[in-house]
A and B are shown apart, each in its own frame.
Chain A
Amino acid sequence: GQQVMQIPQYQHVQEGEDFTTYCNSSTTLSNIQWYKQRPGGHPVFLIQLVKSGEVKKQKRLTFQFGEAKKNSSLHITATQTTDVGTYFCAGWNSGYALNFGKGTSLLVTP
């Protein structure tokens, strides 16, 4: 079945540094989604990418979808303490439920 892998598992940065997490799928994805989970909270939808090579930006966050639609990345420019949390990528399983990667936990120290 489809497997979604993320690296790194953990990342600790100083506030103001950049951060990137990478997502790879064992199969071609129709689309990929990114979620953020704050400590003690629940996952919250950030964005969906659909097109090959697509790049989307949300303020300091930049999301990319690979040309082969098997990989994706999330880049945060100039991290802030509010960026702390776990970032998950996810691909749809048979169109009805999401397969999540294991996530990248980001810690930002001031």
Chain B
Amino acid sequence: NAGVTQTPKFQVLKTGQSMTLQCAQDMNHEYMSWYRQDPGMGLRLIHYSVGAGITDQGEVPNGYNVSRSTTEDFPLRLLSAAPSQTSVYFCASSTRGDRGVDIQYFGAGTRLSVL
């Protein structure tokens, strides 16, 4: 199994451009999430999904859209990129595992710079 796959690994955008960060998981997990990581800020939740067709906002949703048309895929769209969106983005998936332990599995991340 590949686990959680994120593409691209690196991206440079100009202010105002739009793009989609891809995330796919092959573990048949119900829950998927997007986080951004900035120095000294930890991991902040952007959006999450509890299943196909169901999404909800996290702590920092502004400027981002998501959709979940399949269990496997959870793309994150930047509508009009801003320098404040320069960050490392992590996608994660999880399911209720053995004895109720809900492990989140993270992708390798996308490093995004907005100029």
B83 CB within 8 Å of chain A: no
- Which residues from chain A contact B104 at a C-beta distance below 8 Å? 33, 35, 43, 45, 90, 98
Q: Of all chain B residues, which has the CB nearest A1? A: B59
A101 CB within 8 Å of chain B: yes
Give the interface SS of chain B, mostly helix, strand, loop or mixed: strand
Q: Establish whether residues B106 and A103, one from each chain, have CB atoms under 8 Å apart when the complex forms.
A: no
Q: Establish whether residues B48 and A42, one from each chain, have CB atoms under 8 Å apart when the complex forms.
A: no
Checking B40, B42, B106 against A44 with a beta-carbon cut-off of 8 angstroms, the contacting residue is B106
Q: Establish whether residues A98 and B42, one from each chain, have CB atoms under 8 Å apart when the complex forms.
A: no
Q: Establish whether residues A43 and B31, one from each chain, have CB atoms under 8 Å apart when the complex forms.
A: no
- Which residues from chain A contact B102 at a C-beta distance below 8 Å? 33, 48, 92
Q: Of all chain B residues, which has the CB nearest A102? A: B42
A88 to B104, CA, bound (A): 13
Residues in A1-56 with C-beta less than 8 Å from chain B: 1, 6, 9, 33, 35, 41-45, 48, 50
Residues 69-98 of A, flagged 1 when their CB comes within 8 A of B and 0 if not, give 000000000000000000010101100111
B45 CB within 8 Å of chain A: yes
Q: Can you report 10 residue pairs joining A to B where beta carbons are below 8 Å apart?
A: A9-B40, A33-B102, A42-B107, A48-B102, A92-B102, A96-B56, A98-B33, A100-B44, A102-B41, A103-B42
